[in-house]
């Protein structure tokens, strides 16, 4: 039986505004991430994907529910304080915008070494610079980049540096929030292949959030579908793409672009704003590992 690394139980998160209005971004969401698997979260903008990632990483405090990482309840203040170093090193976040997530005044060597300096971790290769060079090599860059600053790098190179910084902590969980959305298509494929290669090498788990359904299909072991804050379907990737059960999942997959230009021009895309999909029901297992809100 696979080991559960992350266990999200009945997660609800509301944003509160000064006029006392509330926006429920996540509504009773439950899922698990197994050790060594890549779980994808998909859905339209505003469906709650990034909110879920930020709750898992303790950027947001959930309104209700619990999140366990390696058996530690990260929503419990006392448990978090008692395991703070483990939680801050074993979970790493990769953001969509690599420009704002990297300190523009620091060199690549200093950026990669920064987590080790902050947490007072002795570099396995004796010096911070040697460790930075090793991590750069892992993400397909050489030592000539060590003294460069983020402004001197391309978007794809900056994202590779962000990945190298995360890997320097040897994490058990990598949370990647739209890490390829701001990159050119050719660079997106390189970064996705890099994720796949690194995961196979290191064996860490990845929570991968993306709009590109084709990339998710290629990379992920399982996929969860969020619709207006509700998890409506969760299944192994092959089962979800081959036999989607929820109407929203079916509509979402029907919008994947077709490689044939003639076929693509003749297609009619669903108007998601004009459609209203069911959000009530019970999360039911309709096939082994395949859950649908129905």
pLDDT tens digits for range 198-222? 899 889 999 999 988 989 999 999 9
pLDDT at residue 152 greater than cutoff 70: yes
pLDDT of the residue at 14: 96
| Residue % of the chain over a pLDDT of 70 | 95
| Torsion (CA) 135, 166, 108, 140 in degrees, nearest 10 | 40
Task: Please name every residue paired with 72 in a beta bridge, in sequence order, or none if there are none.
Answer: 69
Mean pLDDT, range 174-184, rounded to an integer: 89
Measured CA angle at 165 (ends 164, 166), to 5 deg: 90
What is the structure's pLDDT at 254?
85
pLDDT-derived band at 77, boundaries 50, 70, 90: very high
Confidence at residue 249, expressed as pLDDT on a 0 to 100 scale: 94
User: Reduced to 3 states, what is the DSSP secondary structure of residue 293?
Assistant: strand
Mean pLDDT computed over every residue of the chain: 91
Q: Under 8 Å CB-to-CB from 257, ≥6 apart: which residues?
A: 214, 264
DSSP structure class, residue 276: -
226 by Cβ neighbours in 10 Å (0-12 / 13-18 / 19+) ranks as buried
Residue 264 — pLDDT band, cuts 50, 70, 90? low
Contact of 192 with 178, CB cutoff 8 Å: no
What is the model's pLDDT at position 138? 85
| DSSP conformation class of 145 | G
Q: What is this structure's pTM? A: 0.92
């Amino acid at each position: 039986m696979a080991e559960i690394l992350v266990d999200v139980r009945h997660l609800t998160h509301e944003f509160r505004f000064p006029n006392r209005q509330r926006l429920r971004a996540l509504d009773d969401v439950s899922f698990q991430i197994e050790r060594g698997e890549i779980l994808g979260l998909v859905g339209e903008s505003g469906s709650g994907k990034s909110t879920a990632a930020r709750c898992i990483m303790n950027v947001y405090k959930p309104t209700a529910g619990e999140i366990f990482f390696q058996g530690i309840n990260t929503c419990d203040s006392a448990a978090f304080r008692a395991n703070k170093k483990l939680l801050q090193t074993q979970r790493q976040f990769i953001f969509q915008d690599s420009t704002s997530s990297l300190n523009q005044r620091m060199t690549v060597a200093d950026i990669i070494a920064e987590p080790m300096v902050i947490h007072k971790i002795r570099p396995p290769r004796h010096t911070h610079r040697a460790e930075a060079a090793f991590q750069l090599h892992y993400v397909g860059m050489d030592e000539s980049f060590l003294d460069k600053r983020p402004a001197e790098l391309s978007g794809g190179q900056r994202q590779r540096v962000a990945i190298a910084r995360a890997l320097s902590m040897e994490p058990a969980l990598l949370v990647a929030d739209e890490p390829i959305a701001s990159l050119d298509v050719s660079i997106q494929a390189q970064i996705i292949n890099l994720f796949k290669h690194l995961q196979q090498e290191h064996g860490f788990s990845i929570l991968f959030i993306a709009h590109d359904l084709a990339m998710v299909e290629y990379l992920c072991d399982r996929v969860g579908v969020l619709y207006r804050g509700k998890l409506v379907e969760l299944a192994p990737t092959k089962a979800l793409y081959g036999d989607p059960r929820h109407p929203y999942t079916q509509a979402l997959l029907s919008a994947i672009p077709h490689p044939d230009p003639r076929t693509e021009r003749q297609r009619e895309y669903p108007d998601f704003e004009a459609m209203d999909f069911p959000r009530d029901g019970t999360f039911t297992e309709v096939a082994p590992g395949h859950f649908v809100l129905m």
